[in-house]
Structure 1
Amino acid sequence: MSADKIKEEAEDKAVADAATRPPSPDPRLNGQYVPPLGERIEWPLHLFECLPGVDRGEAIDLTGQQKTLLFGPYVQLPAGLWLARMRFSIDPQGGEVQARFDWGALGLFTTETYLIRDPGQYEARMVHAWDSPQAAEFRAFTCRPSFQGYIRFHGFSVERLSDSSPPSTVCAQA
């Protein structure tokens, strides 16, 4: 094999590897960067773990036992009050889905449960206070078995809030 052919194959492999490698997480969230209040930072869905065999952006079948749908990404956040926003669409297909969302770290979470009957686009918003830098986790679950339904996650962001803001949660149809 000629040197040119070897070089060409190596370049093709490097291009293919770069195309399939997910982008690195936002370097501003390394536990040392403290963003200005109100700055929203998108975390790509590829940072999260999902059900085996399910791509993070595709529809997840809710049929079956209660299950963990999504969790992670364990990105280090500095101390402060943080707002998480998970955008998703859900179709209970005539039934209802009881969904639970957790936002926090090290076993200390803000938890909310919602009974969703109407198909549509939703955004779950949850606030949690960190008293020291910690690896953040957002989790999404179904709380009971379902006979039908689908959920699709569309995006996730975090935002540093004023320390004077009280914790609150909202899940509203977009």
Structure 2
Amino acid sequence: MSGPFRVWLLQIPADGAEAWRDALSQACADAGWDFAVHNRHAPAPMPHPERSMLVVSWLHHIDAHPVTHYLVQAGAPGEAAGILAQEDETAQGELLRDVSLRYAVADFLTRLHTPFIPADAAVMNVPGLGDVHCSPNRPLRSTSHPEPALDIFERLPIPIGVQATWGPELFDYADPGADSRTGRLSLVGRRRLLFNGPHIHLPKGIWRFEGSFSIDPGGDADLLIEWGYGHDVQSLPVVIGQAGRYEVVLEQAWSDVMNADFRISLMTPLLEGTMTFHGGTVTRLPDAPAEAG
């Protein structure tokens, strides 16, 4: 290509990421390139009009920033979760949302055939800069923070059929008396949202959620079960009058990187009754075939 290179590297936190930044910074200095690190909430570094530039960023580029080539580098989701947990003591829900957002964007880029470089790779080919080597002798932080809820991100791009289990503890419960560890809650009271979540980001594609709950309604429980994001959901209205364990399967297409929201609402007041949400499994399904035109 003619003109300066504008390379944007989406680098998800992993053991060895800092060593890679050092190696890339040195390679840029040797080649007369500009090098910058773009952190959260910081303005995007703007390139010099006549010099090539490599930006290592926490997420996708800012629209105003010109980019000629993208790269993605990541390790295991557990590494990213562990590193971010050490850097910022946030609640588990916020941590999962942060990590999943980064991987969902990485999935989007790798599905566009953006080169993917494992975090433990010894060499990275940077367009215009060539092969950059990272010393394998640099010590690693050996960080681990296993998160089964993020299992769908173990490989990029995310394969069709990949699954993750989302337990009841990952969801948000509207009533203060609900037990978030077990998913047990009371149905007594007015029409309301009972629970929703886990707000983990999913990339564009078709996703299925298979959830289960036990209920003792003490009458007819008029429920609305939804799966999707915001108003773009697959809905299942159901009236349950018999105690037992029930399973529900819903499928919804994500048109962009958005939160995942499985929710159950009580649509009419009840004077008695309990429910226990057992969690569920999320699965990536094949994309719908394009319509012939």
Contact 1:103 1:127 in 2 (8 A): yes
> Secondary structure of the equivalent of 2:261?
strand
Larger-Rg structure: 2
1:86 aligns with 2:221: no
Per-residue CA deviation, residues 100-153 of structure 1 (Å, 9 max, x unaligned), is 111111431111110111111111111100122211111111000012211101
Q: 2:278 aligns with which of 154, 158, 165?
A: 154
| Distance in 1 of aligned mates of 2:156 and 2:281 | 16
| Distance in 1 of aligned mates of 2:277 and 2:179 | 10
Contact 2:212 2:245 in 1 (8 A): yes
Residue 168 of structure 2 is matched in structure 1 by: 45
Q: 1:36 aligns with which of 137, 141, 159?
A: 159
Change (3 A) 1:73 1:43: same
Query: Size of the alignment, in residue pairs?
Result: 143
TM value normalised by structure 1: 0.73
Change (3 A) 1:45 1:68: same
Residue 201 of structure 2 is matched in structure 1 by: 76
Change (3 A) 1:28 1:58: closer
Contact 2:150 2:164 in 1 (8 A): no
User: Which is strand-richer, 1 or 2?
Assistant: 1
Q: How well do the aligned residues superpose, as a CA RMSD in angstroms?
A: 2.3
Residue 27 of structure 1 is matched in structure 2 by: 150
| Distance in 2 of aligned mates of 1:39 and 1:70 | 25
Q: 2:188 aligns with which of 63, 76, 86?
A: 63
Letter of the aligned partner of 1:38 in structure 2? G
Query: What runs of 5+ residues in structure 2 fail to find an aligned partner?
Result: 1-91, 94-145
Structure 1 residue 34: deviation in Å?
4.2
| Distance in 1 of aligned mates of 2:184 and 2:232 | 29
> Secondary structure of the equivalent of 2:169?
helix
| Distance in 2 of aligned mates of 1:85 and 1:113 | 16
User: Which is helix-richer, 1 or 2?
Assistant: 2
Q: 2:252 aligns with which of 113, 128, 133?
A: 128
> Secondary structure of the equivalent of 1:27?
helix
Residue 96 of structure 1 is matched in structure 2 by: 220
Letter of the aligned partner of 1:40 in structure 2? Q
Per-residue CA deviation, residues 80-110 of structure 1 (Å, 9 max, x unaligned), is 11101121001122x1101111111143111
| Distance in 2 of aligned mates of 1:83 and 1:106 | 16
